[in-house]
Amino acid sequence: MNLYLQGFDLGREILKWIAIITMTIDHIGAVLFPEVEILRLIGRISFPLFAYLLILGLENTRNVRNYFTRLFIFALISQVPFYLATGIEPLDHLNIFFTLSFGLMFIYFFKKNSIIAFVPIVLSILLNFDYSVYGIVMIGCMYIVTGNIKLGTILLVLLNGLFLVPWNSQFLSLLALPLIILHQNSLLTTPKEFEKEFKIPFWRKYFFYVYYPLHLSILYIIQMYYF
């Protein structure tokens, strides 16, 4: 079943694929080849892209509650393959979907000037989300980027300088900024005639949700039988 996708954003799709490919490379390095550092370095740009895409999703969603629910459900689904693939204890470290879902909550209440915005920040520390409080603040910075590129860029540099000194490879996350700035400046756009004719499969909406636990499960099976 195919559906026409109104308001299709080619640049956003490009960023999604870059994020998912670099994330996969990162996880191949973490699970199968931990000694090959370059794989982990490449993966550093994936999270800021996902954080930026989360903000775009929030801006375009018709129902924030449903958006949060989808993210949270896949956070629960993904935790088992996450701990199997990484070798951690089940609740010692929570996967990236928890960071994204509660990052969404943070931005939602931040926009409303509500004190509830502090809840996701506290939870990210207490429950040890992937990227912890750094991840939630990164999502906050991406929200600012969508409104003010210069201010958002400065805050992202300061964030990485504050949280990642001395040197930490996550500082390479700043390499995602040129791609984000290109998208913000409408340099990754969809031709109007292409936008009108573009079709996507019905299942495509959930592909990026399903891919995360699926690829971790595959990596775990490969690790178990071949490494």
Would you kindly state where each structural domain of the chain is located, as residue ranges? 2-226
Q: Which residues pair with 201 in a beta bridge?
A: 2
**Residue 77 in this model has a pLDDT that exceeds 80:** yes
**Residue 99 in this model has a pLDDT that exceeds 50:** yes
Distance CA 224, CA 214 (A): 15
119 Cβ contact partners less than 8 Å away, ≥ 6 residues apart: 105, 109
Runs of H (alpha helix) within 61-187: 64-86, 96-111, 118-126, 132-147, 149-163, 177-184
Largest CA distance in the chain: 51
Min mean pLDDT across 9-23, 107-121, 156-170 is at 156-170
Residue 6, Cβ density class (10 Å: 0-12 exposed, 13-18 middle, ≥19 buried): exposed
Please tell me whether residue 42 adopts helix, strand or coil conformation.
helix
Instruction: Name the token pair of 169.
Output: 């490879």
Contact of 146 with 59, CB cutoff 8 Å: yes
Residue 101, Cβ density class (10 Å: 0-12 exposed, 13-18 middle, ≥19 buried): buried
pLDDT at 187: 72
Q: What is the CB neighbour count within 10 angstroms for residue 181?
A: 15
Distance CA 15, CA 218 (A): 23
Residue 45, Cβ density class (10 Å: 0-12 exposed, 13-18 middle, ≥19 buried): buried
Instruction: Name the token pair of 17.
Output: 């694929």
Read off the pLDDT of each residue in 160-168 and give the average, rounded to a whole number. Answer: 68
Q: In this prediction, what percent of the chain has a pLDDT beyond 70?
A: 87
Read off the pLDDT of each residue in 14-35 and give the average, rounded to a whole number. Answer: 96
Which secondary-structure segment (H or E) carries 47?
Answer: helix 46-60
Distance CA 88, CA 165 (A): 25
Distance CA 30, CA 85 (A): 9
Q: For residue 205, is it left (φ>0), alpha (ψ between -120 and 50) or beta? A: alpha
Read off the pLDDT of each residue in 91-115 and give the average, rounded to a whole number. Answer: 95
Q: What is the mean pLDDT of the chain?
A: 88
Between 6 and 89, residue with greater pLDDT: 89
pLDDT at 200: 61
